[in-house]
């Protein structure tokens, strides 16, 4: 896949280890972080041939030839290349090839990506596009098959596509496929839904893992039943007890620290405040924005955060190397520095600070001191992934965002979505809302804004509308075609005219994210690829995102990843209240509800 498979070169690897053929590269005078034994091994040298490690040990002279490159590490630390075991590349707003350029200098040499964002827009063709764009790069990109496309039933929302059991069976035969992606439909698992269990069974029969997404805070028999179905991991822990109960039931606990979801501080206490075995814990990003990759890092940032919270450096590195490799049953290929494994290696100046000096992938130096040292191919973006925003109306007006009430003046009780900064969950509130002339207006003083979801795949004309609190809007509006999971056009704000302008601009440019105030566009990121990704590089996208965030701060008091928080308002499989193109969804009772509470008297 990235070099010849081991079973085709096993004899050559034996010859290289014994010195019958000489090494291409030898690393000397480093300190090997051995993730298998947990040791720091001073004086162990590393020999590389055919893009793989062929020998580790103190004796190395027998591998040196006239063309062998000897790199003296002068006491630097040698660690395996980092693995992000759960990430959505689309959330970086970068194409896979540009994502690879961005994360390799940060020591990420392998990712396991779930392309369910683009799959919800373009189905199987979207997955195929991601694989084609990201194949045969220095970054190894494996994919899990999106399991919930659409994420919920057609009764609750309109998706751009669907992936059925037969699709899963076919995709399981493709290269670069590592398992079934996060099974968000945990009620479907518990209720023995045929489609859900058909996907799980096909994946288990193929000998691949099934990724989990158990968002229910209830941790007793329902969690056991979910795991019993064949689920092997879960990244939805937000509390110490979540991590403990999952690992006690034998699955891998993925601790998430992304751009918006900062779960590590609490969940890592399952490790730091107990004597529990650490080998079932994995650090992941889930979602990472381009400006955060540039300024903070990728999975290296998560390792640093774990160390800051009290995890010893070797254990933290195990959580992004050997642990995920074993989980995906690829530990004979990646995840450690040992004979036969791919030569994916990070050289660190400082172990506890995860200060990366050099990155090797497949035995090639790909980055030094944060700068790429290799070229990348240029790949054309096919027309079928572009300009996918297809709404029933070409232009929306102020009137489209008006909420009518059943009384002319007075107070009604309304269902309101409460969002929390850097959290995936929402709270279902029932609040007294003022009505004026049969109309519910935003209330800046009480932090109550409007939110609308416009169907953008099939021109159905569907539009759901609701109320939201927690964004701290002071003026204006925002909109985004990144709206999990169906990625319809999501608009929020306290000015209906600005909401219309925001929606219309994104329709015009083929998708993206936007901030509008007083009829002026303050910030815009164009995302023409499925309404999710840019065709530009990480630096250009990061600059636009930074400008967008600056614009956001002018109209709102919410600070951390507001667009990531906003994007989950429409995710109808997470607690407690969401809004889709079909209206408000009570995700605890799994039913549609009216915005205004009807009196029982």
Strand spans (E) along 302-447: 345-350, 355-361, 364-368, 371-372, 403-404, 409-419, 426-436, 439-440
- Rounded to whole angstroms, how far apart are CA atoms 508 and 394? 8
Mean pLDDT of 139-157: 91
H/E stretch holding 171 reads helix 165-171
**pLDDT tens-digit series, residues 240-250:** 999 999 999 99
- Rounded to whole angstroms, how far apart are CA atoms 299 and 278? 18
CA 342 vs CA 80, 85, 139, 501: distances in Å: 10, 17, 12, 51
User: What residue spans define the domains of the chain?
Assistant: 80-342, 398-593
**Is the pLDDT at 220 greater than 80, yes or no?**
yes
H/E stretch holding 33 reads strand 31-34
pLDDT value of position 267:
97
H/E stretch holding 181 reads strand 177-183
**Is the pLDDT at 560 greater than 80, yes or no?**
no
- Rounded to whole angstroms, how far apart are CA atoms 199 and 149? 12
pLDDT value of position 563:
83
**Is the pLDDT at 106 greater than 90, yes or no?**
yes
User: What's the angle, vertex CA 74, arms to CA 68 and CA 80, rounded to 5?
Assistant: 75
Sheet holding 439-440: strands in order across?
403-404, 439-440, 426-436, 409-419, 463-469, 448-454, 489-493, 477-480, 512-517, 520-526
What is the sign, positive or negative, of the torsion defined by CA atoms of 153, 286, 471, 554? negative
pLDDT value of position 599:
65
Percentage of the chain exceeding pLDDT 70: 99
What is the band of 151 on the pLDDT scale with cuts at 50, 70, 90? confident
SS (H, E, C) 112-152: EECCHHHHHHHCHHHHHHHHHHHCCCCCEEEEEECCCCCCC
**pTM metric for this prediction:** 0.92
Mean pLDDT of 9-17: 95
Q: Which residues pair with 413 in a beta bridge?
A: 432
CATH no. of 80-342: 3.20.20.140
What is the band of 1 on the pLDDT scale with cuts at 50, 70, 90? very low
52 burial (CB, 10 Å; 0-12 / 13-18 / 19+) is: buried
Helix, strand or coil for residue 484? coil
- Rounded to whole angstroms, how far apart are CA atoms 379 and 366? 19
User: What's the angle, vertex CA 207, arms to CA 8 and CA 149, rounded to 5?
Assistant: 115
H/E stretch holding 564 reads helix 562-567
Tokens in use for 593? 């509800």
- Rounded to whole angstroms, how far apart are CA atoms 321 and 32? 14
What is the sign, positive or negative, of the torsion defined by CA atoms of 344, 346, 351, 352? negative
Question: In angstroms, how far is CA 154 from the centroid of its own chain?
Answer: 24
Mean pLDDT of 63-89: 97
* C-alpha dihedral (115, 119, 121, 123), degrees to nearest 10: 160
Residues contacting residue 76 through CB under 8 Å, at least 6 positions apart: 30, 31, 347, 348, 349, 357
Which residue do the tokens 């297809």 mark? 390
pLDDT value of position 344:
98
Mean pLDDT of 496-519: 98
**pLDDT tens-digit series, residues 375-430:** 999 999 999 999 899 999 999 999 999 999 999 999 999 999 999 876 778 999 99
Assess contact for 157 and 148: CB atoms under 8 A: no
User: What's the angle, vertex CA 179, arms to CA 102 and CA 206, rounded to 5?
Assistant: 150
- Please state whether the peptide bond connecting residue 150 to the residue before it is cis, i.e. omega within 30 degrees of 0: yes
What is the band of 195 on the pLDDT scale with cuts at 50, 70, 90? very high
What is the sign, positive or negative, of the torsion defined by CA atoms of 108, 112, 114, 115? positive
Question: In angstroms, how far is CA 92 from the centroid of its own chain?
Answer: 8
175 burial (CB, 10 Å; 0-12 / 13-18 / 19+) is: exposed
CA 246 vs CA 238, 254, 397: distances in Å: 12, 10, 48
Report the chain's mean pLDDT, rounded to a whole number: 95
- Rounded to whole angstroms, how far apart are CA atoms 1 and 4? 7
pLDDT value of position 334:
98
Residues contacting residue 366 through CB under 8 Å, at least 6 positions apart: 104, 138, 359, 360, 372, 373, 374
Q: Which residues pair with 360 in a beta bridge?
A: 345, 365
CA 310 vs CA 135, 157, 264, 267: distances in Å: 37, 43, 11, 12
Q: Which of 48-57, 147-156, 192-201, 257-266 has the lowest mean pLDDT?
A: 147-156
> Among residues 20, 26, 55, which one has the least CA distance to residue 337?
55
- Rounded to whole angstroms, how far apart are CA atoms 27 and 19? 15
The H-assigned helical ranges of 251-371 are: 264-267, 269-272, 290-295, 299-308, 313-318, 322-327
DSSP single-letter state for residue 52: E
Assess contact for 322 and 342: CB atoms under 8 A: no
CB atoms within 10 A of CB 284: 27
Q: Which residues pair with 517 in a beta bridge?
A: 520
Which residue do the tokens 């009764």 mark? 155
- Please state whether the peptide bond connecting residue 576 to the residue before it is cis, i.e. omega within 30 degrees of 0: yes
**Is the pLDDT at 510 greater than 90, yes or no?**
yes
Assess contact for 372 and 104: CB atoms under 8 A: yes
**Is the pLDDT at 601 greater than 70, yes or no?**
no
């Amino acid at each position: 896949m990235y070099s010849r498979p081991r079973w085709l070169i096993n004899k050559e690897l034996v010859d290289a280890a014994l010195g019958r053929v000489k090494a291409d590269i030898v690393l000397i005078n480093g300190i090997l972080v051995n993730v298998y034994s947990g040791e720091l091994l001073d004086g162990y040298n590393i020999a590389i041939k055919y893009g793989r490690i062929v020998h580790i040990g103190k004796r190395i002279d027998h591998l040196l030839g006239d063309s062998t490159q000897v790199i003296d590490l002068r006491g630097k630390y040698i660690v395996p290349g980092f693995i992000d075991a759960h990430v959505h590349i689309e959330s970086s707003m970068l194409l896979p090839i540009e994502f690879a350029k961005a994360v390799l200098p940060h020591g990420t040499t392998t990712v396991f990506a779930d392309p369910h964002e683009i799959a919800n827009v373009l189905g199987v063709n979207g997955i195929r596009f991601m694989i084609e764009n990201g194949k045969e790069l220095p970054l190894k990109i494996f994919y899990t098959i999106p399991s919930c496309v659409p994420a919920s039933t057609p009764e609750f929302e309109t998706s751009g596509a669907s992936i059925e059991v037969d699709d899963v069976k076919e995709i399981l035969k493709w290269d670069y496929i590592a398992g079934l992606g996060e099974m968000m439909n945990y009620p479907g698992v518990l209720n023995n839904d045929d489609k859900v269990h058909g996907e799980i069974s096909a994946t288990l029969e193929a000998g691949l893992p099934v990724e989990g997404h158990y968002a229910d805070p209830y941790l007793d028999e329902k969690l056991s039943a979910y795991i019993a179905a064949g689920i092997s991991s879960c990244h939805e822990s937000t509390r110490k007890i979540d991590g403990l109960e999952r690992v006690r039931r034998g699955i891998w606990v993925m601790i998430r620290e992304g751009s918006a979801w900062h779960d590590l501080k609490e969940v890592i206490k399952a490790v730091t405040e107990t004597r529990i075995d650490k080998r079932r814990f994995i650090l992941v990003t889930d979602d990472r924005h381009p400006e955060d990759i540039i300024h903070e890092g990728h999975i290296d940032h998560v390792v640093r955060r774990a160390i800051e919270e009290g995890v010893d450096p070797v254990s933290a590195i195990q959580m992004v190397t050997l642990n995920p490799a074993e989980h995906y049953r690829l530990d004979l290929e990646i995840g450690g520095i040992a004979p036969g494994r791919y030569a994916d290696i990070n050289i660190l100046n400082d172990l506890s600070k995860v200060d990366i000096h050099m990155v090797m992938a497949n035995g090639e130096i790909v980055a030094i001191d944060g700068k790429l040292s290799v070229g990348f191919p240029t790949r054309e973006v096919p027309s079928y992934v572009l300009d996918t925003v297809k709404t029933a109306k070409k232009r929306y007006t102020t009137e489209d965002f008006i909420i009518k009430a059943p009384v002319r003046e007075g107070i009604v009780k309304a269902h309101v979505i409460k969002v929390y900064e850097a959290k995936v969950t929402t709270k279902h509130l029932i609040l007294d809302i003022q009505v004026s002339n049969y109309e519910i207006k935003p209330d800046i003083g009480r932090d109550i804004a409007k939110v609308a979801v416009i169907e953008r795949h099939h021109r159905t004309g569907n539009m759901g509308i609701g109320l939201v609190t927690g964004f701290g809007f002071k003026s204006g509006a925002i909109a985004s075609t990144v709206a999990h999971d169906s990625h319809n056009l999501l608009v929020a704000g306290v000015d209906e005219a600005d909401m219309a302008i925001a929606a219309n601009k994104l329709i015009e440019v083929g998708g993206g994210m936007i901030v509008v105030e007083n009829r002026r566009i303050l910030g815009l990121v164009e995302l023409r690829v499925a309404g999710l990704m840019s065709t530009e590089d990480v630096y250009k996208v990061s600059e636009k995102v930074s400008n967008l965030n600056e614009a956001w701060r002018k109209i709102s008091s919410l600070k951390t990843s507001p667009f990531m928080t906003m994007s989950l308002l429409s995710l109808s499989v997470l607690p407690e209240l969401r809004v889709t193109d079909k209206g408000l969804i009570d995700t605890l009772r799994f039913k549609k509800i009216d915005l205004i509470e009807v009196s029982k008297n």
